[in-house]
C-alpha cells in the first residue's frame, strides 16, 4: 500500500512556522507583514478562495488588506491600485485573484506588480529567477508540491521525474524546481505521444492536467512517488458531486507514496502563500 502524504498536517506545520516568524517580527518591533488581496468582480469560486486566504492570514497574524473592485473596473484603475500598493511600505505582498474580467489584460496587471511583492511568483522577474536558480518568490502550488515530496524523498539527484501539464502556474515551475534538484525532468502535455510509457519510467510523477483519473495504476512504476495536483469536481451517477484528482486514486497501491485529493496539494497552496508573504516582508 502506498503511504498517503498528509497535506493537511504538513500545511498546518508550515503555517505554525509562519506564525512563529510573524510573532518574531512583531516582537522585534518590525510589525506584522501585510498582504493586499485584490478581487475584481464576484466570481463565486474566486470569492471562496479569497475568503480562505484572508481567514488563513488572520490565523498566522498576517495583516490582510482586501480590495474588492466591481466587475466593470477599467484596466487603468486596476493598474493605478497596483501602483499604490507597490508604493505602500505597509504592503509586503500583493495578490491579484485570477481570473480577471475580459476587459483586463491579466498579463499586464501581473507584470505591474513589484517583483519583490509578487507573492504568487508569476512576475517575469520571478519566473526568470526560478529558471536561473537565483532565488525570488516561487509560485505557491509548485512550492507546496516540493515540500510534500521533501517529506518522502531525501536525495533527488538523478531521479526521473515526469510532470503532466505545462501551465505557467504549476507544470513549468514545478519542472524547474525538480531540475534544480538534479532530477531528469520530462514535461508532458495534451499533445504528448505515448504518455503512459513516459510515466512508467518515472520515479516522481507530478500530475497537473485537470483531467480526472487520467493516470492509471499500471502507468506507475513500483515505488514511485505521485503528487496529484489536479482537482476536478465530477458529478456521480446519483447526482452528487465529488472532487477527483488526475490520478485514479484506487489504483495507486504500488506507488511508494501518493497525495490524496482532497487533502494533499490543496492545503499547501495557501500555507505557501503565507510563507511567501513572510519571505517578502523579511527581504
Ligand atoms: P491548465 O489548464 O492551465 O493546464 C493544464 C495542462 O495540462 C496543459 O498544459 C495541458 O496541455 C495539460 N493536459 C490537459 N489534459 C491533458 C491530458 N489528457 N494529457 C496530458 N496533458 C494534459 O491547468 P493548471 O492551472 O495548471 O491546473 C491543473 C490542475 O491542477 C487543475 O485540475 C487545477 O484545478 C489544479 N490546481 C490545483 C491547485 C491546488 O492548489 N491544489 C492549484 C492550481 C491548480
Q: Is 108 a catalytic residue?
A: no
The domains found in the chain, sorted by start residue, are: 29-115 (3.40.50.10860), 140-266 (3.40.50.720)
Q: Which three cell numbers stand for residue 164?
A: 503532466
Q: Which three cell numbers stand for residue 275?
A: 510563507
Average pLDDT score over residue span 247-253: 97
Q: Which atom of ligand 1 is nearest to the CA of 209?
A: 7
- Cα 230 to ligand 1 centre (Å): 6
Q: Is 172 a catalytic residue?
A: no
- What would you measure as the largest C-alpha separation in the chain, in angstroms? 57
Q: Is 53 a catalytic residue?
A: yes
Buried/exposed 161-184: b ≥16 CB within 10 Å, e otherwise: bbbbbbbebbbbbbbbbbbebebe
155 vs 168: CA distance, rounded Å: 26
Scanning the structure block, which residue is given the C-alpha cell 488581496?
37
- Cα 231 to ligand 1 centre (Å): 8
Average pLDDT score over residue span 241-268: 97
65 vs 81: CA distance, rounded Å: 12
Tens of pLDDT, residue by residue over 94-151, are: 999 999 999 999 999 999 999 999 999 999 999 999 999 999 999 999 999 999 999 9
* Residue 31 pLDDT: 95
**Which one-letter DSSP state was computed for residue 99?**
P
Q: How confident is the model at residue 85 (pLDDT cuts 50, 70, 90)?
A: very high
Selection from 21, 263, 278 nearest residue 144 by Cα: 263
Residue whose CB lies within 8 A of the most ligand 1 atoms, among 56, 147, 165, 269, for a mutation test: 165
Q: How confident is the model at residue 74 (pLDDT cuts 50, 70, 90)?
A: very high
Amino acid at each position: 500500500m502506498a503511504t498517503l502524504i498528509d497535506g493537511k498536517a504538513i500545511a498546518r506545520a508550515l503555517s505554525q512556522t509562519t506564525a512563529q516568524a510573524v510573532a518574531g517580527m512583531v516582537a522585534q518591533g518590525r510589525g506584522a507583514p501585510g498582504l493586499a488581496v485584490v478581487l475584481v468582480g464576484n466570481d463565486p469560486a474566486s470569492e471562496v478562495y479569497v475568503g480562505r486566504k484572508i481567514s488563513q492570514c488572520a490565523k498566522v497574524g498576517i495583516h490582510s488588506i482586501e480590495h474588492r473592485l466591481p466587475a466593470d473596473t477599467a484596466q487603468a484603475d486596476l493598474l493605478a491600485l497596483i501602483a499604490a500598493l507597490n508604493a505602500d511600505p505597509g504592503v509586503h505582498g500583493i495578490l491579484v485573484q485570477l481570473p480577471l474580467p475580459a476587459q483586463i489584460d491579466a498579463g499586464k496587471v501581473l507584470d505591474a506588480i513589484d517583483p519583490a511583492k509578487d507573492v504568487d511568483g508569476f512576475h517575469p522577474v520571478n519566473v526568470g529567477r526560478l529558471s536561473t536558480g537565483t532565488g525570488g518568490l516561487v509560485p505557491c502550488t509548485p512550492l507546496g508540491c516540493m515540500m510534500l515530496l521533501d517529506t518522502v524523498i531525501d536525495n533527488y539527484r538523478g531521479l526521473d521525474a515526469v510532470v503532466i501539464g505545462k501551465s505557467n502556474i504549476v507544470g513549468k515551475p514545478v519542472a524547474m524546481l525538480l531540475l534544480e534538484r538534479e532530477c531528469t525532468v520530462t514535461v508532458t502535455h495534451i499533445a504528448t505521444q505515448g504518455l503512459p510509457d513516459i510515466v512508467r519510467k518515472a520515479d516522481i510523477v507530478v500530475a497537473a492536467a485537470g483531467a480526472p483519473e487520467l493516470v492509471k495504476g499500471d502507468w506507475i512504476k513500483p515505488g514511485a512517488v505521485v503528487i496529484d495536483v489536479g482537482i476536478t469536481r465530477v458529478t456521480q451517477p446519483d447526482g452528487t458531486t465529488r472532487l477527483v484528482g488526475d490520478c485514479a486514486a484506487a489504483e495507486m497501491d504500488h506507488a511508494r507514496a501518493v497525495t490524496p485529493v482532497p487533502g494533499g496539494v490543496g492545503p499547501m497552496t495557501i500555507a505557501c502563500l503565507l510563507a511567501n508573504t513572510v519571505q517578502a516582508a523579511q527581504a
